[in-house]
Amino acid sequence: MADAVHLGSGKVRELYALDDERLLLVASDRISTFDVILPTEIPDKGRVLTGLAAFWFVRTRAITPNHLLAVRPDGRSTECRRLEMLPVECVVRGYLSGSGWKDYAKTGEVCGHRLPKGLRESDRLPDPIFTPATKAQSGHDENITGAQAAALVGAERVAEAERVSIALYRFAAAYALERGIIIADTKFEFGVDRAGRLVLGDEALTPDSSRFWPADQYAPGGPQPSYDKQYVRDYCEKIGWGKTYPGPELPPDVVAGTRRRYVEAFEQLTGLSFDAYLANPSVVLK
């Protein structure tokens, strides 16, 4: 880290340049809820996300190349190839939730996809849909149509990103469901390498970039409990926090319960013990 140059901060991550070709993504233990970063950290959260993303990168290499070069021994830092990132977030939805549900309830459509009538909140869609988004001025993601995405990055590139995104989602959602986790939707970020190839970047198929639901509690017709953040949300509701900055400190039992859920997601999906990952993060790469 001595000569890494800080390039930027995300809500819960830091980005550094290692050299002209390599970046370092560092996942912190910060947690956000209702778009506010809380003052209390969840120990090892960044390691869980880093390990899970690396696990998926290795297992989806036949679907798409990705930016992963190495996971550092700290378990929270990913060395990755530097790409030219596309200014479009590639969201795939397999279930009707969040802004997808809101748009459908208003218009019967999500990002230009005409959907069957009569769907309920959290219903599974007949087929997963590609619903691109851009980072708006507000910092919030804004859904856009395929045509708007094409105007931003070119029609062929969007078509390629859509095909790869849907294939990644289908693979991961089927895999996760066998292990008791519904991936309701997920966001991919792609870049282009020097050879002009589309490459998967960022952090993929984690509970921070996706909605994970416990499959054994799935009950469409309303919102679903979050696999990872439900204790935090319940606590925030209980104390009547107004969901604006600053967020509340979390009590130890909420921290412990939330950490346990992140670790459980890691262990269920990877089939590895999290202690084994802490001892040697490269276990997820085998």
Nearer to ligand PZK, 19 or 237 (CB): 19
CB 146 within 8 A of CB 158: yes
Q: Which of residues 197-216 bind ligand PZK (CB under 6 A)?
A: 201-202
Helix axes 146-153, 155-178, angle to 10 degrees: 120
Min dist CB 229 to ligand PZK, Å, is: 19
Nearer to ligand PZK, 25 or 158 (CB): 25
CB 187 within 8 A of CB 91: yes
Nearer to ligand PZK, 126 or 139 (CB): 139
Q: Which of residues 14-53 bind ligand PZK (CB under 6 A)?
A: 14-15, 23, 25
Q: Which of residues 147-176 bind ligand PZK (CB under 6 A)?
A: none
Residue type (1 letter), 177 = L
Residue type (1 letter), 263 = V
Binding span for ligand PZK by CB under 6 A among 9-17, 99-107, 117-125, 139-147:
9-17
Min dist CB 149 to ligand PZK, Å, is: 18
Min dist CB 68 to ligand PZK, Å, is: 9
Q: Which of 9, 217, 280, 282 binds ligand PZK (CB under 6 A)?
A: 9
Q: Distance between CA atoms of 226 and 58, rounded to whole angstroms?
A: 26
Min dist CB 17 to ligand PZK, Å, is: 9
Nearer to ligand PZK, 92 or 200 (CB): 200
Closest by CA position to 209, among listed 228, 196, 232, 237: 228
Backbone angles phi, psi at 110, to 5 degrees: -130, 115
Closest by CA position to 49, among listed 32, 70, 28: 28
For residue 176, count other CB atoms closer than 10 A to its CB.
22
E strand or H helix at 157: helix 155-178
Min dist CB 103 to ligand PZK, Å, is: 25
Q: Distance between CA atoms of 186 and 210, rounded to whole angstroms?
A: 4
Binding span for ligand PZK by CB under 6 A among 7-15, 101-109, 126-134, 213-221:
7-15
Residue nearest to ligand PZK (CB): 13
Nearer to ligand PZK, 15 or 215 (CB): 15
State yes or no: cis peptide before 246, omega within 30 of 0.
Answer: yes
Q: Distance between CA atoms of 36 and 246, rounded to whole angstroms?
A: 7
In the block, residue with structure tokens 């469901």: 177
Residue 13 as a binder of ligand PZK (CB under 6 A): the answer is yes
For ligand PZK, what does the binding mask look like between residues 75 and 94, x meaning CB under 6 A?
-----xxxx-x---------
Applying CB under 6 A, the residues found at the interface with ligand PZK are: 8-10, 13-15, 23, 25, 67, 80-83, 85, 191, 201-202
